[in-house]
Amino acid sequence: MRTLQKKRVAELPVSQQIKDVLIKVLGPNEEVYVEVVGGRIRVIL
């Protein structure tokens, strides 16, 4: 069962460093999908 969550870039549960880059590239309000695959976080743009 695959669980995709829609999240704003600013709310992503990833380290600040990575988030900062994504905010710069996409903007804080851009919505992306997040899923957890084998203990890893996958951010789908």
Q: Which residues lie closer than 8 Å to 10 by C-beta, 6 or more apart?
A: 19, 23, 28, 29
Residue showing tokens 């710069």: 24
| Residue 6 contacts other proteins per CB under 8 A | no
Taking CA 29 as the corner, what is the angle to CA 21 and CA 19, rounded to the nearest 5 degrees? 25
Can residue 14 be called a binding residue for other proteins (CB under 8 A)?
A: yes
4 in contact with other proteins (CB under 8 A) = no
Our finding on whether 1 is near other proteins (CB under 8 A) is: no
Interface with other proteins, residue 40, by CB under 8 A? yes
What residues line the site for other proteins (CB under 8 A)? 14-15, 18, 22, 37, 39-45
